[in-house]
């Protein structure tokens, strides 16, 4: 197991280098003079030269990339061109808010999706199966910003049970988590149903039933463990999607997370902040895939990922 983890981690190194290269090129690919774009048309030549110096744009490209990697190892993401604050100080507190939002959205998606998929698979072609799949279609069809507004209207404005904005206690977490997790729950439910139906048709499941094993043990001990392997992939991808797609949910509920930081940075042409945010999100997604690969091995020790 330890050899497997080490080998898989070493395979991440080229991916991480590729991620840093793409993030580095964000500023390089800005049309025209990057310093001019970030400073604005009214900036003087002295201000532009100072910005080029601060960003290292006067150096050859390979020197800039080497400096960029060296700073990244020290967790230095550069300076904001608007506030002159370290990018890490701007990104870190917002990242934890977005990570918490994505986590609770994933909890909703996994709990509702797994239960819905299992119930649908164990009663194939029943009203319960039909109802679950209808929920999945509806969940996939609704834009999360529209769902958030509808939930806010019902539970906050009409019923007055929950706050309309903010982040902190469970009352502020509830609606954003439901908003973010609904589409993910629909996807996980469909995948769980499909995987469970395939596993329930296997010989070892029929053998367990023939031996008189209780149906609950057949479902949760024999079938679900093997059905979870493809579902884990979907869960990992959904978590990455929640991190990158949190901007809409954060905007609807006025949550000061990473998504809103990126939008503000783009509108203010603060590209070092955009660059730092891209790196943090991309590396988090890479780490998520690494954890998913380990979970594959935990669920089925026969799996080898080359």
Alpha-carbon distance values, 59 to 43, 70, 85, 214, 237 (Å): 21, 15, 23, 70, 38
pLDDT of residue 107: 92
* Pair (53, 71) in one structural domain: yes
* Pair (185, 274) in one structural domain: yes
CB distance 282 to 85 below 8 Å: no
* Pair (182, 278) in one structural domain: yes
Identify whether 31 is part of a domain: yes
Given 52, 87, 122, which residue is the final one in a domain? 87
What 158-164 contacts at long range (C-beta under 8 Å, 24+ apart), as own/partner pairs, is 164/253, 164/254
* Pair (71, 22) in one structural domain: yes
- Tally of domains in the chain: 2
Given 87, 109, 138, which residue is the final one in a domain? 87
DSSP letters, 7-47, are HHHHHHHHHHHHHHHHHHHHHHTSSS-HHHHHH-TT--HHH
Which alpha helices (DSSP H) does 201-245 contain, by range?
Answer: 203-210, 215-217, 224-244
CB atoms within 10 A of CB 297: 16
* Pair (200, 51) in one structural domain: no
pLDDT of residue 32: 59
In angstroms, the CA 186 to CA 115 distance is: 11
* Pair (18, 77) in one structural domain: yes
pLDDT of residue 24: 80
In angstroms, the CA 25 to CA 65 distance is: 9
Identify whether 305 is part of a domain: no
pLDDT of residue 37: 63
Alpha-carbon distance values, 56 to 53, 68, 77 (Å): 5, 9, 13
Q: Residue 167: which region, alpha, beta or left (left: phi > 0; alpha: psi -120 to 50)? A: beta
2-28 and 61-73 helices cross at what angle (nearest 10)?
Answer: 130
Per-residue pLDDT of the chain (306 residues; tens, 9 = 90+): 667 777 777 777 888 888 888 888 877 776 656 666 666 666 677 777 777 776 676 777 778 788 888 888 888 887 787 777 888 888 888 888 888 888 998 999 999 988 888 888 887 778 878 888 888 888 778 887 788 888 888 888 888 888 877 777 788 888 888 888 888 888 888 888 888 888 877 777 777 777 777 777 777 777 777 777 778 888 888 887 888 777 778 888 888 888 788 888 877 777 788 888 888 888 888 888 788 777 776 766 655 555
**CATH number of the domain bearing residue 104:** 1.10.3720.10
* Pair (141, 56) in one structural domain: no
Identify whether 103 is part of a domain: yes
Which residues, 6 or more positions from 124, have their beta carbon under 8 angstroms from its beta carbon? Answer: 197
Domain range enclosing 31 = 2-87
CB distance 287 to 5 below 8 Å: no
Alpha-carbon distance values, 265 to 48, 200, 256 (Å): 19, 50, 13
In angstroms, the CA 40 to CA 35 distance is: 8
* Pair (73, 103) in one structural domain: no
34: tokens are: 């990057």
CA angle at 223 for the pair 220 and 224, rounded to the nearest 5°: 55
* Pair (70, 8) in one structural domain: yes
* Pair (144, 190) in one structural domain: yes
Identify whether 280 is part of a domain: yes
* Pair (200, 242) in one structural domain: yes
CB atoms within 10 A of CB 258: 29
Given 71, 87, 103, which residue is the final one in a domain? 87
Q: How many residues would you count in the chain?
A: 306
* Pair (61, 191) in one structural domain: no
pLDDT of residue 39: 63
Identify whether 304 is part of a domain: no
């Amino acid at each position: 197991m330890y050899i497997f983890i080490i080998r898989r981690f070493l395979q991440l190194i080229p991916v991480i280098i590729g991620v840093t290269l793409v993030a580095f090129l964000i500023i390089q690919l800005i049309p025209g003079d990057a310093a001019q774009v970030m400073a604005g048309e009214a900036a003087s030549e002295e201000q532009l030269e100072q910005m080029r110096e601060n960003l290292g744009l006067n150096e050859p490209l390979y020197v800039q990339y080497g400096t960029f990697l060296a700073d990244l190892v020290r967790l230095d993401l550069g300076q904001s061109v608007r506030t002159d604050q370290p990018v890490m100080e701007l990104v870190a507190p917002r990242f934890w808010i977005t990570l918490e939002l994505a986590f609770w959205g994933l909890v909703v998606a996994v709990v509702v999706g797994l239960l819905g998929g299992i119930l649908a698979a164990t009663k194939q072609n029943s009203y319960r199966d039909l109802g679950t799949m209808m929920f999945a279609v509806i969940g996939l069809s609704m834009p999360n910003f529209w769902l958030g507004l509808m939930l806010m209207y019902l539970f906050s404005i009409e019923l007055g049970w929950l706050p309309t904005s903010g982040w902190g206690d469970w009352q502020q977490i509830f609606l954003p988590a439901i908003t973010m997790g609904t589409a993910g729950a629909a996807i996980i439910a469909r995948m769980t149903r499909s995987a469970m139906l395939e596993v329930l048709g296997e010989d070892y499941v029929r053998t367990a039933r023939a031996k008189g094993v209780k149906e609950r043990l057949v479902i949760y001990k024999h079938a679900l463990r093997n059905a979870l392997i493809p579902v884990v992939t979907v869960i990992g991808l959904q978590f990455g999607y929640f991190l990158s797609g949190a901007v809409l949910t954060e905007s609807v509920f006025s949550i000061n997370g990473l998504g809103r930081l990126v939008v503000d940075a783009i509108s203010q042409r603060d590209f070092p902040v955009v660059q730092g945010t891209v790196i943090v999100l991309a590396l988090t997604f890479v780490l998520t895939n690494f954890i998913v690969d380990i979970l594959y091995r935990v669920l089925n020790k026969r799996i080898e990922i080359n």
